[in-house]
Each structure stands twice: as C-alpha cells, then as structure tokens.
C-alpha cells in the first residue's frame, strides 16, 4: 500500500516536473503561490475572531476586486443572455453579481473554528490561457473538501480566478443554471433577473446589518 502510494507520488512528481519544467516567462505569476496566498487571505478573513460583518465584507470586496475576474465570470453566468442585454444591463449585472458574491462569501464559514488547513495538490494547464489548481481543505476528523481553482492569465501575466469547483460542483455553472431559471421565469427578460438581484441584495444587506447590531 505504502510503496504503491510512494510510487504514484514519484510518478506524479516526475510528470509535473516534465510539464512545468520549462522556464516560466518573466513576470508570470506562479499559479501555486497565487492560490496558496489567496486561500490564506480568504481563510484569514473568514476565521479571524472579533471582526464585524462589515469588516469582512470590506475585506472580501478588495479580495474579489484584485484576484477574481468578475466581468469574465459575469459573462459566463449570463451566457446567451449577455448578448441580449444592453451595455447598461451588463454593467448593472456585473456590479450586482459582485455584491452577491461578496455578501455570500463573507458570511460563509464565519462561525467555523478555524482549524482549516489548505494544501495545493496539483497544477495543470487548462486551455491556452488557463491554469487549473487542485487543492484540499483538511478539517478535523472530517473528510477533506476538494477544491479546484480555475485561473486565467491576463495580458500582463497576472492571474485571476474564473471559477471555483467545490467537491465537483462549479460555482460558475451553478450560478449560470440558477440565473437562467430566473430569467426563464420572467419571460426570458434579463430585467427580471436584475430586479430579483436588487431585491436579494437589499435582503442580504438588511440581514447583515441586523446581525452586526446583535454582536
């Protein structure tokens, strides 16, 4: 058992060194370091004790603006409806969607003890400009959570997240499927989705501020 695992690890290491042995272009961000740093920052924000909801929201907003390609994800999530939207609707969707992401992730895991350990397990190319980084989040005496970070390299060699796959479920695909259902329910009109987003944001912001008062 152990020798087999060792052999597998050695083979994987060899493969990795073959595919990533080529010298990186100067100025290119290293995908592994990028994900390690991003996950550390996110977990620090989520698990730090004594922070108010407002602190977390502010920090997440900065994190998303810097490291997550919201416009790119927005286009994927709207899919065919992106082309059917006016530029103003596209802009409003990007802004609302970013707020939804920030409010969703800043509250997630906030009651978690903080005994999380994140390790990158694999890095593989994904298309021309993309990189896929696999990682595991270890929790105490529970099954680890498998994550896949889909990254895209911009013109300057910098990296940005375009999707997060949690235990095989892609966040981008889930949003795309859900928002398409909302548009369908509103007679195929993007305006229906935008007003549902406005209502949801108002609800989330109200919920967030009331729980801050409770603290």
* Stretch of 23-31, 32-40, 47-55, 97-105 lying at the interface with other proteins (CB under 8 A): 97-105
Strands, DSSP E only, in 86-185? Answer: 117-126, 130-139, 142-153, 159-166, 169-170
Of 82, 116, 145, 153, which lies in the binding site for other proteins, with binding defined by CB under 8 A? 82
Residue 100 binds other proteins, judged by CB under 8 A: yes
Nearer to other proteins, 44 or 154 (CB): 154
Residue 126 binds other proteins, judged by CB under 8 A: yes
Of 52, 54, 86, 104, which lies in the binding site for other proteins, with binding defined by CB under 8 A? 104
Please return the burial class of 17, using the count of CB atoms within 10 Å of its CB with bins 0-12, 13-18 and 19+: exposed
Of 29, 89, 135, 162, which lies in the binding site for other proteins, with binding defined by CB under 8 A? 162
Residue 207 binds other proteins, judged by CB under 8 A: yes
Residue 134 binds other proteins, judged by CB under 8 A: yes
Helix (H) or strand (E) holding 49: none
**160/131 Cα distance (integer angstroms):** 10
Q: Which residues contact 105 (CB under 8 A, 6 or more apart)?
A: 42, 46, 60, 64
* Stretch of 8-16, 26-34, 47-55, 93-101 lying at the interface with other proteins (CB under 8 A): 93-101
Q: How far is the CB of 3 from other proteins (least distance, A)?
A: 13
Six-digit token string for 180 = 């398409």
């Amino acid at each position: 058992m152990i020798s087999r695992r060792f052999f597998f690890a050695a083979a994987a290491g060899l493969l990795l060194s073959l595919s990533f042995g080529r010298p990186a272009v100067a100025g290119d961000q290293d995908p592994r370091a990028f994900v390690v740093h991003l996950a550390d920052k996110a977990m620090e924000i989520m698990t730090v004790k004594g922070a108010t909801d407002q602190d977390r929201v502010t920090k997440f907003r900065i994190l998303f603006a810097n490291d997550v390609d919201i416009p790119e994800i927005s286009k994927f999530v709207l899919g065919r409806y992106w082309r059917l939207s006016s530029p103003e609707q596209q802009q409003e969707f990007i802004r609302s969607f970013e707020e939804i992401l920030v409010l969703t992730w800043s509250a997630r895991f906030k009651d978690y003890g903080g005994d999380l350990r994140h390790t990158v397990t694999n890095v593989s190319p994904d298309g021309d400009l993309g990189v896929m980084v696999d990682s595991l989040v270890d929790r105490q005496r529970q099954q680890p959570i498998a994550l896949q970070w889909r990254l895209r390299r911009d013109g300057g060699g910098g990296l940005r997240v375009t999707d997060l796959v949690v235990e095989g479920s892609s966040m981008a695909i889930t949003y795309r499927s859900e928002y398409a259902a909302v548009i369908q329910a509103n007679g195929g009109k993007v305006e229906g989705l935008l007003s549902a987003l406005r209502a949801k944001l108002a609800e989330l912001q109200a919920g967030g501020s009331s729980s801050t008062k409770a603290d």
